[in-house]
């Protein structure tokens, strides 16, 4: 018997942080774990997956605000070890990167205790950002994508995090559902594990391992993912300013309701049928027209796991 989870999960993150690729890879990752897609909101969602699998390229940057919803059915492991078959809804409100601007919002950041009137709407882009916040406020759990490659090159994750968290806290406060922390559960996903630099950092710092079963794909296990995220934010000299990102998430979300995952939407290439870190494993190739090409079979790593974890925890709360 399948129990429908009376809750929803929103996927959220800065522009080009891997959230659209992660959403597009969800059906592939779900099927590999025995989950099935039982519904989606629009044909546009299927186009996201087809672009990656059939056209072998990543989806272009978002230029127009769009909504995507997908419903999954699969087995989730509860805290007592039992397996329950559940149905869960995942949604994403995608807005153009410009909607997070102007950066002056960063100067207005006052931490999780901020209240008062909240940010005012100003123009179409500002409305799109508020629509995103309203979407997140209507969900029971959030998946946040953190891209260490973007943080290393731009150091601007906080620019996109600050205003959303302040607005979300204000919106939940108006609903009477915000005291010390936001009520949503949170899964923090370190994305682009297949990137050479991200993979090498995890390996050198002792967080990486490989599956025992063929094709022996690499991964950072869930029990080590939180410490890897902390290491990236606080100890890695390349991901500057990331300590503020981790501090903000811990300030707004109750620590016991956060978990961490290290994911790759496309996965790794194989050598002689197995993963070999000493051979070229990247299946991502930039091309002159600016659209990144995918050169091999997609093998998502840890993509379904954050949604499974959130669904299991929320099912337990639903039954309590």
Tell me the CB-side half-sphere exposure of residue 286, using CA atoms within 13 A: 3
User: For the residues 5-27, what does the mean pLDDT come to?
Assistant: 88
Residue 301 has pLDDT above 80, yes or no: yes
Residue 228 has pLDDT above 90, yes or no: yes
Amino acid 122: pLDDT: 47
Answer yes or no: pTM beyond 0.85.
yes
Phi then psi dihedrals of residue 238, to 5 deg = -80, -35
Phi then psi dihedrals of residue 66, to 5 deg = -150, 155
Residue 243's nearest CA partner among 102, 10, 251 is 251
Give the pLDDT band (50/70/90) at residue 68. confident
Amino acid 64: pLDDT: 62
Amino acid 101: pLDDT: 58
Q: pLDDT (tens digit, 9 = 90+) per residue, 166-200?
A: 999 999 999 999 989 999 999 999 999 999 999 99
Residue 74 has pLDDT above 80, yes or no: yes
User: What value does the mean pLDDT of the chain take?
Assistant: 86
Q: pLDDT (tens digit, 9 = 90+) per residue, 114-136?
A: 433 344 434 676 888 888 899 99
Distances in Å between the Cα of 84 and the Cα atoms of 5, 176, 201, 245, 277 are 11, 32, 36, 34, 36
Residue 43 has pLDDT above 60, yes or no: no
| Domain 3-319 coded CATH 3.40.50.300 | yes
Structure tokens at 161: 């995090």
Distances in Å between the Cα of 155 and the Cα atoms of 34, 99, 161, 200, 228 are 38, 18, 12, 20, 18
User: For the residues 292-297, what does the mean pLDDT come to?
Assistant: 92
Amino acid 111: pLDDT: 41
The whole-angstrom separation of Cα 302 and Cα 308 is 10
* Contact predicate 21/11, CB 8 Å: no
DSSP H helices, 41-118, are: 43-53, 104-107
SS3 260: strand
Q: Residues 6 or more apart from 225 whose CB is under 8 A from it? A: 190, 207, 259, 260, 261, 262
Q: Report which secondary-structure segment, H or E, holds 90.
A: strand 83-94
Does residue 110 or residue 21 have the better pLDDT? Answer: 21
Q: Residues 6 or more apart from 281 whose CB is under 8 A from it? A: 194, 199, 268, 269, 270, 271, 275
Residues recorded for the chain:
320
Which of these ranges, 79-83, 106-110, 165-169, has the smallest mean pLDDT?
106-110
Q: How far apart are the first and last CA of the chain?
A: 19
Give the whole-number percent of the chain exceeding pLDDT 70: 86
Burial class (CB in 10 A: 0-12, 13-18, 19+), 133: buried
Q: Which residues pair with 261 in a beta bridge?
A: 189
The whole-angstrom separation of Cα 221 and Cα 304 is 14
Residue 108 has pLDDT above 60, yes or no: no
């Amino acid at each position: 018997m399948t129990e429908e989870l009376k809750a929803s999960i929103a996927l959220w993150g800065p522009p080009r942080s891997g959230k659209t690729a992660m959403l597009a890879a969800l059906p592939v990752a779900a099927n590999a774990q025995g989950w099935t897609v039982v519904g989606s909101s629009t044909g546009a969602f299927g186009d996201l997956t087809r672009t990656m699998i059939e056209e072998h390229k990543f989806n272009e940057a978002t230029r127009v605000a769009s909504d995507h919803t997908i419903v999954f059915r699969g087995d989730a492991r509860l805290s007592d070890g039992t397996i329950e078959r559940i149905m869960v809804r995942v949604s994403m409100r995608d807005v153009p990167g410009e909607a997070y601007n102007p950066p002056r919002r960063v100067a207005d950041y006052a931490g999780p205790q901020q209240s008062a009137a909240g940010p005012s709407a100003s123009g179409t882009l500002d409305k799109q950002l508020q629509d995103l916040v309203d979407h997140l406020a209507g969900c029971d759990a959030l998946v946040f994508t953190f891209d260490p490659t973007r943080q290393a090159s731009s150091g601007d994750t906080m620019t996109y995090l600050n205003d959303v968290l302040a607005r979300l806290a204000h919106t939940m406060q108006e609903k009477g559902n915000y005291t010390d922390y936001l009520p949503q559960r949170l899964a923090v996903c370190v994305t682009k594990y297949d990137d050479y630099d991200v993979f090498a950092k995890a390996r050198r710092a002792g967080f990486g391992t490989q599956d025992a079963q063929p094709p022996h794909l690499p991964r950072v296990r869930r029990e080590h993912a939180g410490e890897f995220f902390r290491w990236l934010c606080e100890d890695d000299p390349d991901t500057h300013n990331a300590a503020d990102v981790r501090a903000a998430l811990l300030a707004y979300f109750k620590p016991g309701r956060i978990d961490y995952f290290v994911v790759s939407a496309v996965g790794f290439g194989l050598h002689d049928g197995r993963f070999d870190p000493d051979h070229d494993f990247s299946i991502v190739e930039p091309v002159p027209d600016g659209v990144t090409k995918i050169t091999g079979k997609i093998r998502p790593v840890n993509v379904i796991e954050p949604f499974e974890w959130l669904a299991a925890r929320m099912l337990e709360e639903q039954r309590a």
